[in-house]
């Protein structure tokens, strides 16, 4: 099924050879992503009205065949996966020597955190972690997919401050009978869970084991900056007290001890949990109102 879908998408984007994108890049690539992605990621805008966006460019001339396949796979995944907490695909085209993917306006999480301001407050970080856990739960529980690339470089922040999951290059259809292929980018190896180097232990993973380890890496980076080595995960001094126990579960050596993202979400929202605050509660209430309004509108249109 996956191969058929991939072939269809490849044919569609291949038809764009020679076609001009309705967007243009407006800035240099984000340097913080170099080495952690096969894309050059830049600010962009729509040519006809100046609407802001983000462009991901994969230049085939300096990429291996396997890296080009990863770019095409990420293109397909982002185009077909629709969720409020996943980066929104807008447009894209494959030219003779490059692949271009346009998404909603968003900046890398690292840029947002380093800029400071409200984006680095405990409240906005707690809501951001909530949003990423929802995206991961959607992939793991609803789609049977493993993201395999959860870290600061795969998270983006949109114009409204909402955290969105991107970095779909290594998404894998979960199977207990197979081991996912290794990553091509050496800089990402530090995010691999311990079972990735142990074939016997690797066969004992759950659908969410790998992504929960990655969520632990993401949480560590949010409070400490980019991860330099896996041993850095032992340092919990900057992680909020209410997150330390869940964090230690996420980066535990036993893959089966890592919690399901949906269960973790519930635990963190309990009294005293890291997500148990007024800011998260208000945003959840707003989401519920929006869902109800959409439901009423759909029924009204049907009638």
Query: Each residue of 199-222: pLDDT tens digit?
Result: 555 557 899 999 999 999 999 999
More confident residue, 295 or 131: 131
Does 119 have pLDDT greater than 70? no
Least confident of 16-25, 84-93, 127-136, 261-270: 16-25
Q: What is the mean pLDDT of residues 59-83?
A: 95
Q: Is 84 helix (H, G, I), strand (E, B) or coil?
A: coil
What is the pLDDT at residue 45? 94
Q: Is 191 helix (H, G, I), strand (E, B) or coil?
A: helix
Q: What is the DSSP letter of 25?
A: E
Q: Is residue 9 very low, low, confident or very high in pLDDT (cuts 50, 70, 90)?
A: very low
What is the pLDDT at residue 6? 40
Q: What is the DSSP letter of 44?
A: E
Q: How far apart are CA 69 and CA 71, in angstroms?
A: 5
Least confident of 16-25, 131-140, 187-196: 16-25
**How much of the chain, in percent, has pLDDT values that exceed 70?**
86
What is the pLDDT at residue 14? 39
Give the mean pLDDT of the chain.
Answer: 87
Does 247 have pLDDT greater than 60? yes
Q: Is residue 31 very low, low, confident or very high in pLDDT (cuts 50, 70, 90)?
A: very high
Q: How far apart are CA 163 and CA 232, in angstroms?
A: 24
Does 16 have pLDDT greater than 90? no
Q: What angle do CA 12, 16, 20 make, to 5 degrees?
A: 145
Q: How far apart are CA 4 and CA 289, in angstroms?
A: 38
What is the pLDDT at residue 135? 98
Contacts 24+ apart (CB under 8 A), 24-32: 25/55, 25/57, 30/107, 30/108, 30/111, 32/108, 32/110, 32/111, 32/153, 32/226
Beta-strand (E) ranges in 66-181?
Answer: 89-94, 98-104, 106-108, 145-146, 155-158, 163-165, 172-173
Tokens of 95: 């030219």
Buried b / exposed e along 32-66 (16+ C-beta atoms within 10 A) = bbeebbbbbbbbbbbeeeeeebbbbbbebeebeee
Tokens of 49: 């009205």
What is the pLDDT at residue 187? 93
Q: How far apart are CA 252 and CA 250, in angstroms?
A: 6
Does 294 have pLDDT greater than 70? no
Q: Is residue 287 very low, low, confident or very high in pLDDT (cuts 50, 70, 90)?
A: confident
Does 26 have pLDDT greater than 60? yes
Q: Is residue 18 very low, low, confident or very high in pLDDT (cuts 50, 70, 90)?
A: very low
What is the pLDDT at residue 1? 43
What is the pLDDT at residue 180? 79
What is the pLDDT at residue 13? 41
Residues 6+ apart with CB under 8 A from 206: 255, 256, 258, 260
Q: Distance between alpha carbon 252 and the CA centroid of its chain, in Å? A: 21
Q: Is residue 198 very low, low, confident or very high in pLDDT (cuts 50, 70, 90)?
A: confident
Q: Is 11 exposed, middle or buried (0-12, 13-18, 19+ CB in 10 A)?
A: exposed
Q: How many CB atoms lie within 10 A of CB 265?
A: 18
pTM above 0.75, yes or no: yes
What is the pLDDT at residue 225? 94
Does 191 have pLDDT greater than 90? yes
Q: How far apart are CA 119 and CA 187, in angstroms?
A: 26
Q: Distance between alpha carbon 114 and the CA centroid of its chain, in Å? A: 19
What is the pLDDT at residue 19? 54
Q: Is 279 helix (H, G, I), strand (E, B) or coil?
A: helix
Parallel, antiparallel, or unpaired for β 172-173 and 145-146?
A: antiparallel
Nearest alpha-carbon partner for 78 in 174, 175, 145: 145
Digit-coded pLDDT (tens) for 125-136: 999 999 999 999
């Amino acid at each position: 099924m996956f191969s058929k879908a991939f072939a269809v998408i490849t044919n569609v984007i291949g038809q764009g050879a020679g076609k001009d994108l309705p967007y243009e890049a407006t800035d240099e690539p984000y340097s913080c992503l170099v080495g952690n992605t096969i894309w050059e990621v830049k600010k962009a805008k729509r040519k006809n009205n100046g609407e802001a966006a983000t462009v991901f460019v994969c230049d085939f001339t300096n990429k291996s065949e396997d890296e080009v396949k990863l770019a095409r796979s990420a293109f397909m995944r982002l185009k077909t996966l629709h969720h409020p907490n996943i980066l929104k695909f807008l447009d894209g085209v494959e030219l003779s020597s490059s692949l271009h993917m346009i998404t909603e306006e968003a900046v890398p999480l690292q840029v947002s955190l380093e800029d400071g301001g409200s984006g680095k407050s405990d409240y906005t970080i707690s809501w951001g972690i909530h949003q990423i856990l929802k995206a991961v739960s959607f992939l793991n529980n609803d789609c049977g997919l493993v993201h395999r690339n959860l870290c600061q470089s795969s998270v983006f922040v949109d114009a409204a401050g909402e955290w969105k999951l991107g970095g779909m290059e290594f998404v894998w259809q979960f199977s207990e009978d197979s081991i996912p292929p290794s990553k091509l980018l050496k800089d990402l190896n530090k995010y691999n869970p311990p079972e990735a180097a142990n074939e016997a232990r690797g066969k004992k993973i759950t659908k969410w084991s790998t992504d929960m380890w990655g969520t632990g890496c993401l949480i560590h980076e949010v409070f400490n900056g980019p991860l330099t080595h896996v041993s850095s995960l032992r340092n919990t001094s900057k992680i909020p007290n209410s997150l330390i126990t869940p964090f230690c579960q996420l980066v535990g050596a036993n893959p089966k001890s890592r919690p399901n993202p949906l269960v973790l979400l519930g635990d963190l929202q309990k009294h005293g949990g890291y997500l148990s605050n007024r800011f998260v509660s208000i945003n959840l209430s707003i989401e519920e109102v929006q869902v109800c309004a959409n439901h009423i509108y759909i029924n009204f249109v049907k009638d």
